[in-house]
Chain A
């Protein structure tokens, strides 16, 4: 099972919006909408930011939004803030009843 493909890095200035893509195959996404996104600060455990493509858990800022079109999912961070600087991973439940993570994207706030 190969990882979903994400850009290695994305950067933006405070207040700007950035979008992280997550590309896979139809098997990777399994025909479901079980795509999630995780934020990981250095030395910390991952934190769930988006689930089921576009839903935010309680307590997650509405500056984070998710979408999916075909075999590409996306995470958009609007109004970029210094605290958003972290690694971000997408994940999907697959047609093989397994999970696959993305390669990870380092977000830098300039």
Chain B
């Protein structure tokens, strides 16, 4: 079955750190760019970060740049998000999502739509 399963969420104090994981199965993980998207309670979707299939290209939203680090391990079919200096504004459901693998632009992490989503892992900063 094609799926993404996030883990690692929880309750953390302001200023703390947390590492999220996303396990992929059922597709050729190392051919796809991967992304993190978050959704604060009762709010809309916010793109967080993207990483190319080889990890060569990475991009971040301004709201997390310098605090969050995206990475992947293609041998383990896994995506990660290391979060530090967390604040209340980071409280959200964090989704991992794959994107196309067919972006024609060069030297970018991803430009395709988010075609497969996990169910999310909740991060609460309080």
Chain A residues in contact with chain B, CB under 8 A? Answer: 1, 3, 32, 34, 36, 38, 40, 45-48, 51-52, 57, 89, 91, 93, 97-104
Contact A99 B115 (CB under 8 A): no
Compute how far the CA of A99 lies from the CA of B34 in the bound complex, rounded to whole angstroms: 13
The A-B contact count (CB < 8 A) is: 60
B61 touches A98 (CB 8 A): yes
Q: Chain B interface (Cβ within 8 Å of chain A)?
A: 35, 37, 44-47, 50, 59-62, 95, 100, 108-109, 111-115, 117-120
Closest Cβ–Cβ distance, residue B49 to chain A (whole Å): 9
Known interface pairs A46-B95, A99-B50, A103-B44. Does A91 touch B59 (Cβ–Cβ under 8 Å)? Answer: no
List 14 A-B pairs, Cβ < 8 Å.
A1-B62, A34-B113, A40-B45, A45-B119, A46-B117, A51-B113, A51-B115, A52-B113, A89-B44, A91-B45, A91-B47, A93-B111, A97-B108, A98-B61
